[in-house]
Chains A and B, each alone.
Chain A
């Protein structure tokens, strides 16, 4: 059982480049999340999707866009990467809002 799968696991971008981080879950969960984790900052919520067809901003949405493609998939797009977006990105899913979430293995992104 794969759970939550993120791709890619590692990525290096040049400033100004764009890319999409992919996330898929096979647990039939309704809610999905994108977080970033930086040293000393803990996990901060970028965007979340309560259910298929809905998305909402989290704590740090600037510079990102998301798409809830279907119930399984929730992608995060960086339109013009900046060095400040160097971070570890985690996708998570939960059965419903306010229940425990399960995380993917993370994407380590470096913007140079």
Chain B
């Protein structure tokens, strides 16, 4: 079992849809949590950090449940430009551990 697991993709949604990504991690010693976005053949870019209290950045909302070892990302009012792969990332002992990513395709 992988240390960080994400929903399998791809997710194909119409513009304006709300889409949710889920992620679970297996090591309770994990310290920090992030969502990254990766466009085809490019470097991953930080989308947002994830805090226990939950946090929001415009159309994006991230939640962390430490008891369930579960992280989520909600995208509201999807745009064509949101099409990318979304990577769940967990930090433990100085290592950043990536999930395999979930591909999102937003269609007109």
Main secondary structure of the interface of B (DSSP, over half): strand
A112 CB within 8 Å of chain B: no
Main secondary structure of the interface of A (DSSP, over half): strand
In chain A between 31 and 55, which residues have their CB closer than 8 angstroms to a CB of chain B? 31, 33, 35, 40-45, 48, 50
A97 CB within 8 Å of chain B: yes
Interface centre among A58, A88, A100, A103 (most CB of B within 10 A): A100
Segment at the interface with A among B15-23, B61-69, B73-81, B97-105: B97-105
Closest to A54 in B: B94
Indicate if the CB atoms of A43 and B87 lie closer than 8 Å: yes
User: Please, how many residues of chain B have a CB less than 8 angstroms from a CB on the other chain?
Assistant: 22
Number of A-B contacts (CB under 8 A): 53
Indicate if the CB atoms of B43 and A90 lie closer than 8 Å: yes
A84 CB within 8 Å of chain B: no
Interface 1/0 per residue, A92-104 and B, CB below 8 Å: 1010011111111
Leading 5 A-B pairs by shortest Cβ distance:
A97-B94, A103-B43, A42-B100, A43-B98, A98-B91
Known interface pairs A41-B100, A48-B95, A98-B91; 18 further A-B residue pairs with C-beta atoms within 8 A, sorted by A's residue number = A40-B100, A42-B98, A42-B100, A42-B101, A43-B87, A43-B98, A44-B98, A45-B95, A45-B96, A48-B94, A50-B94, A92-B96, A97-B91, A98-B94, A99-B32, A101-B46, A102-B46, A103-B43
- Seen from chain A, the residues whose Cβ lies within 8 Å of a Cβ on chain B are 31, 33, 35, 40-45, 48, 50, 56, 58, 88, 90, 92, 94, 97-106
